């Protein structure tokens, strides 16, 4: 998005019509999916977990599902959706299509490298280091192997640019570090705190992000390589602001938040992931979201969280071009739904509180980061703190 920091116009909030439409979409999806209750044998979650270690097919399914663990969908079609959506968005971006939407991977032209780092680092965690072996004795029904997809490896690519050295370094470090740290925190810290398990995941992303960025900074072969620039048409400040004021921009921004965790940040990818998650639910409600039956409420909480954030902090988008309104989408909203139940009340309350608290907290933490440390470290730290705060608030509310 064009830098419009020098713009003098101030906004108290975003488009009210955009807010209403976005919330309406969230509630519509919730009620439609809630009316569907198909329980079939199609890729049942518990079957996948029981076979992921020793059966190559189910190990591959677990590998694919990990691409949308961040959104709490963990579904095959949701994961294929975000990858296909990211590819479509990238090709449209390269061609300067009017349909491209927000520049995928923040206009870096690095989407293929981001995806490559995700595929490679996750392959290392699942197929090389075989962390799925912890499924074998039946003690665990979930493992945090997905950390690399939304953690250090893609962040390193965005920091250092398109090079094989950056790809291999970030992917190997991320693939090796992510799971052990998350696994230890999940087993030793989270039970004592009594907070949602996502806190372990996001703090792992922060810890490994700091470690990997620090190591990469010290390695002599890690040099920043500029990516090939795309000749995009330049919009005037006035044209950009007029577009941002419209309800359509608001809805697009909310959809884009659904793909921010994977560093795509594009509404096409966001739309594809929602369609994929819905298809997973329609085929078998016991496939996605760990067979919790909570996907409708999870999606509702995400629409509420992002919509509230975009509405309240619209002026930050005007000032900065981007703001962390995706924070509740991949943390507090879904986490509280899984912890407190998949009711509309929980989804809406967690979404509203997450949308209010998460984005400014992310800005605060990001502002404290030193140079050469990717902002995702600040964002995921905000996710952890926001989830702890909101879960504590919901715990003491008498109507939950």
Helix (H, G, I), strand (E, B) or coil at 256: helix
What angle is formed at CA 291 by the lines to CA 285 and CA 297, rounded to 5 degrees?
70
Alpha-carbon distance 69 to 73, whole Å?
6
Return mean pLDDT, the chain: 94
The confidence score (pLDDT) of residue 6 equals 54
Query: What whole-number percentage of the chain has pLDDT above 90?
Result: 88
For the chain, the first-to-last Cα distance in angstroms comes to 41
Tokens of 315: 């002026």
Per domain, the residue ranges of the chain are 16-396
Alpha-carbon distance 49 to 130, whole Å?
14
Maximal CA-CA distance, the chain: 62
Place of tokens 């230890």: 184
From the candidate CATH numbers 1.10.3430, 1.10.287, 2.60.40, 3.30.1340, the one assigned to the domain spanning 16-396: 1.10.3430
Alpha-carbon distance 69 to 249, whole Å?
27
What angle is formed at CA 129 by the lines to CA 124 and CA 133, rounded to 5 degrees?
125
pLDDT tens digits, 247-283: 999 999 999 999 999 999 999 999 999 999 999 999 9
Helix (H, G, I), strand (E, B) or coil at 303: helix
pLDDT tens digits, 159-188: 999 999 999 999 999 999 999 999 999 999
Mean pLDDT across 100-119: 95
Q: At residue 227, does pLDDT exceed 90? A: no
CB 328 within 8 A of CB 302: yes
pLDDT tens digits, 13-33: 999 999 999 999 999 999 999
Long-range Cβ contacts of 231-235 (<8 Å, 24+ apart): 231/96, 232/96, 232/103, 232/107, 233/96, 234/2, 235/2
Instruction: Band the pLDDT of 293: cuts 50, 70, 90.
Output: very high
Mean pLDDT across 361-378: 93
């Amino acid at each position: 998005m064009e830098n419009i920091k020098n713009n003098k116009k101030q906004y108290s909030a975003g488009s009210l019509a955009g807010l209403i439409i976005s919330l309406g979409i969230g509630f519509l999806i919730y009620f439609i999916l809630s009316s569907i209750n198909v329980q079939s044998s199609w890729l049942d979650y518990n079957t996948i977990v029981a076979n992921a270690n020793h059966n190559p097919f189910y190990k591959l399914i677990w590998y694919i599902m990990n691409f949308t663990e961040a959104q709490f969908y963990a579904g095959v079609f949701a994961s294929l959706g975000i990858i296909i959506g990211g590819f479509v968005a990238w090709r449209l971006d390269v061609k300067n299509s009017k349909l491209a939407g927000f520049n995928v991977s923040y206009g870096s032209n690095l989407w293929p490298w981001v995806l490559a780092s995700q595929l490679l680092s996750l392959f290392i965690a699942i197929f090389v280091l075989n962390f799925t072996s912890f499924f074998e004795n039946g003690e665990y029904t979930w493992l945090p192997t997905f950390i690399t997809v939304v953690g250090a490896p893609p962040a390193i690519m965005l920091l250092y640019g398109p090079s094989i050295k950056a790809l291999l370094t970030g992917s190997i470090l991320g693939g090796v570090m992510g799971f052990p740290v998350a696994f230890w925190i999940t087993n030793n810290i989270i039970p004592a705190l009594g907070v949602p398990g996502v806190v372990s995941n996001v703090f792992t992303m922060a810890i490994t992000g700091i470690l990997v960025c620090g190591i990469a900074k010290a390695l002599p072969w890690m040099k920043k390589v500029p990516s090939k620039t795309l000749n995009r048409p330049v919009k005037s400040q006035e044209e950009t602001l007029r577009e941002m004021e419209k309800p359509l921009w608001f809805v697009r921004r909310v959809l884009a938040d659904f793909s921010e965790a994977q560093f795509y940040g594009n509404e096409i990818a966001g739309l594809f992931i929602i369609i994929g998650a819905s298809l997973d639910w329609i085929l078998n409600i016991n496939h996605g979201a760990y067979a919790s039956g909570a996907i409708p409420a999870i999606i509702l909480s995400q629409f509420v969280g992002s919509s509230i954030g975009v509405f309240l902090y619209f002026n930050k988008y005007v000032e900065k071009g981007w703001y962390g309104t995706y924070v509740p989408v991949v943390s507090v909203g879904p986490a509280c739904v899984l912890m407190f139940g998949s009711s509309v009340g929980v989804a809406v309350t967690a979404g509203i509180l997450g949308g209010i608290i998460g984005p400014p907290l992310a800005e605060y933490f990001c502002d404290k980061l030193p140079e050469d440390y990717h902002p995702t470290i600040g964002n995921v730290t905000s996710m952890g703190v926001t989830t702890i705060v909101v879960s504590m608030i919901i715990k003491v509310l008498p109507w939950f």
